[in-house]
Structure 1
Amino acid sequence: MEPAAREADVLKPLPQTPSAPATHMARPRTAAMEAVEDIAYGSIAGVVGKYIEYPFDTVKVRLQSQPDHLPLRYRGPLDCFAQSIRSDGFLGLYRGISAPLVGAALENSSLFFWERLGRAAIYASGYAPRDQPLPLSALWMTGAFSGAMTSFILTPVELVKCKIQVPETEGGVVRAPLRPIPVIKDIWRHQGLRGFWHGQLGTFLRESGGCAAWFGSKETVTQLFREWNERSAAASSRPAANDDDPLPLWQQAVAGASAGMSYNFLFFPADTVKSRMQTTPIGESPGQHRTFAAEARALWRQAGLKGFYRGCGITVLRSVPSSAFIFMVYDGLKKHLPMQ
């Protein structure tokens, strides 16, 4: 998963203007319209980002899920790429992408939706005046709230994805690739409804902490760029840009990339433990599954701190273009295709 935000003033009320004839007034934007935009544009941005990052995500999951009782199969990301392409071809790196595409649409639309509700709740609490943008500290909090709520949607999707991405072996022979529907049926048959949330604690920790960093970093870098642009404009006697104007594309990309890197690096250990939990054989009974703490202890005994960051480099690398495109697509759609 890796998992986007808008400019810090999205929730600012529309500026008050003098009365004008009804024929010249734009239709007021409602909360329902904003929610529909969050869902629709977040879904589109998520799908674009998922296509960019998925091969790297497959390598990351395979590195993370190597058993602790066997010698390591992959020496590192490049070796994993090479072995995977030799075994399945390049398209094998896209194995199981159908479920993650749905998950990416659900994840990003959910993140934007809950982040907006978080902002609305903070304004309603009186923490900040409604005619002012929220402070950065509040935006980190809304990111954490958004990630925590989204984790409950994301865990089942990632469970299916992880089981498809990591090929099962029997007697040293790799089995035929799994498909989403058979995996879903097997989980239901062996573990029931509760089985789809195996690894929920890891997802919750990763998403709540990671999304605080994701939204917060993006907004922090965006604000720094705006201040820098204002100083540059003043130094050259150019008119300063309006706060509602979008940043130049390269600045939007840097802000988005910094968000993705923060999200993936800071809470990567929680994602590693979650991936190991979710790649256990489906046939095992729930009682045989390790808890989050037990899985973490086993990994610590096997590889120490380094084991928790196995696959981190490739994950942070793929988050740069993926997160940049997610923000650029989402903010661009919000700016140029507002729903009326």
Structure 2
Amino acid sequence: MPDYDADSALQRSKQLNDLLFGSVAGLVGKLFEYPFDTVKVRLQTQPLDNPTYKGPIDCITRTLKQEGVKGLYKVPLRSGIFCQMALGSMLENAALFVGYKQIQRTIRDLFSTPEQRAAYAQITDEDDLPALTIPQLFLSGAISGTFASLILTPVELIKCKLQIQLGSAFTAPITTTSLSYTHPIHYRGPLHVILHTLRIHGPAGFYRGHLATAVREMGGGAAWFGVYELACRQLTRRRQARMPHRVVTKRDLPTSQLMLAGALGGISYNFFLFPVDVVKSCMQTDEETQARARAGRPVGASTVERRGFVQVARDIYNGAGVKGFYRGCGITVARSAPASAIIFATYISTHYESCT
């Protein structure tokens, strides 16, 4: 009879490993990509009729000139950098990798016999398990992205509100007992954004733009993991053809090829889902951009327009056409290649080290 307690303990160990390695990979990747993400969000949310920046280079140059390097890491280094960059990135990638691996195990269990499931539970190295089909891997990525969006939406909202602040004089609304916006405010860090959002909108305020985030993460998860796995499979086949006397697995691929596969996954995710990301960023910063447009004039809370997904998409199209959905796309795709390469290489290397 199988030892179900041992099987359960092994499964928990695998999930904890996925959580740990996903967290480490997310932190390493975010340290590299965060400045480029700041540029992307500023380009996405600038006014359609009178853009603040001419392009990514202009945005980088002006940010460095006006705010220094810390302007690209748009959180105060003492109060916010750990919360926003470390914790947010660790949660995001941990949720993605844990969900992705667990959904793969669930799919494999659904299509296997009890005897096969008992045998699979004893295997510690995922590469030794029967391979899923490419459509199943794309599905696993899509489902994991959908679940990860529940964690990611509040993290993205806080990040975007901080990233669009310009210097130290950004005007955003705050509440008073009369629920009117009468004073300028500058977010001092993630905690300040959290308290402000709770005071104005309650807990539901953290899920502003969740539909757009969920759509982006569902398609993005499928592209990110699916293209990565497809590339790894092709690279493994090529290596197998050169080494016919042994079985070649993903574990045998050099780090450079794992990074190449990760880069292709990152490019696919960011390019194909970028228009949805633009809508998401605009939805999550509506409050701040409207306050900026009013130049700090006191307004009633009821006059802040909360646009939905379709309305934001329509406004972007009416204001800038199709190109409005690709503001910041170039720099995002450019940084996604090395960032995703680093994330996957970090995850795989830590995973394999734990198996040795």
Query: What's the TM-score bracket when you normalise by the shorter of the two chains?
Result: 0.7 to 0.9
Alignment equivalent of 1:83, drawn from 41, 58, 62:
62
- CA RMSD between the two structures: 2.3
Q: Within the alignment, does 1:258 sit opposite 2:243 as a pair? A: no
Normalized against structure 1, the TM-score is what?
Answer: 0.84
**Counterpart of 1:336?**
353
**Counterpart of 1:115?**
100
Q: Within the alignment, does 1:95 sit opposite 2:74 as a pair? A: yes
The residue identity in structure 1 corresponding to 2:102 is: L
Work out whether residues 229 and 240 of structure 1, in 8 Å CA contact, stay in contact via their aligned partners in 2.
Answer: no
> Structure 1: how far apart are the matches of 2:236 and 2:268?
20
Q: 1:253 to 1:244 in 2, by over 3 A?
A: closer
SS at match of 1:75: coil
Q: Within the alignment, does 1:201 sit opposite 2:211 as a pair? A: yes
The residue identity in structure 2 corresponding to 1:206 is: R
**Counterpart of 1:137?**
135
The residue identity in structure 1 corresponding to 2:91 is: L
For this pair of structures, how many residues does the alignment match? 306
Query: Residue deviations 1:254-293, cap 9 Å, x none?
Result: 0010010011011100100000111122685597210011
**Counterpart of 2:323?**
306
> Structure 1: how far apart are the matches of 2:270 and 2:191?
29
Query: Residue deviations 1:32-91, cap 9 Å, x none?
Result: 0000001111000000000000000000000000123x4011010000001111110112
Work out whether residues 261 and 316 of structure 1, in 8 Å CA contact, stay in contact via their aligned partners in 2.
Answer: yes
Q: 1:285 to 1:158 in 2, by over 3 A?
A: farther
Q: 1:285 to 1:329 in 2, by over 3 A?
A: farther
**Counterpart of 1:233?**
243
- 1:243 CA displacement: 1.9
Q: Within the alignment, does 1:179 sit opposite 2:179 as a pair? A: no
**Counterpart of 1:275?**
281
Q: Within the alignment, does 1:66 sit opposite 2:46 as a pair? A: yes
Q: 1:285 to 1:259 in 2, by over 3 A?
A: farther
Query: Residue deviations 1:192-245, cap 9 Å, x none?
Result: 0100000001100110000100000000000000111122335xxxx4453263
Work out whether residues 202 and 273 of structure 1, in 8 Å CA contact, stay in contact via their aligned partners in 2.
Answer: yes
SS at match of 1:94: coil
Runs of 5+ in structure 1 lacking a partner?
1-26
More helix by share: 2
Work out whether residues 218 and 258 of structure 1, in 8 Å CA contact, stay in contact via their aligned partners in 2.
Answer: yes
Query: Residue deviations 1:113-152, cap 9 Å, x none?
Result: 1112211221232179766211111000000000000001
Runs of 5+ in structure 2 lacking a partner?
1-5, 76-80, 118-128, 173-183, 292-300
Work out whether residues 233 and 250 of structure 2, in 8 Å CA contact, stay in contact via their aligned partners in 1.
Answer: no
Normalized against structure 2, the TM-score is what?
Answer: 0.81
**Counterpart of 1:154?**
152
**Counterpart of 2:78?**
none
> Structure 2: how far apart are the matches of 1:176 and 1:93?
17
- 1:175 CA displacement: 7.0
> Structure 2: how far apart are the matches of 1:233 and 1:124?
31
Work out whether residues 287 and 304 of structure 2, in 8 Å CA contact, stay in contact via their aligned partners in 1.
Answer: no
- 1:320 CA displacement: 1.1
SS at match of 2:330: helix
> Structure 1: how far apart are the matches of 2:32 and 2:267?
15
The more displaced of 282-291 and 143-152 is 282-291
> Structure 2: how far apart are the matches of 1:286 and 1:293?
20
Query: Residue deviations 1:306-335, cap 9 Å, x none?
Result: 010110110011111110011111111110
> Structure 1: how far apart are the matches of 2:287 and 2:88?
22
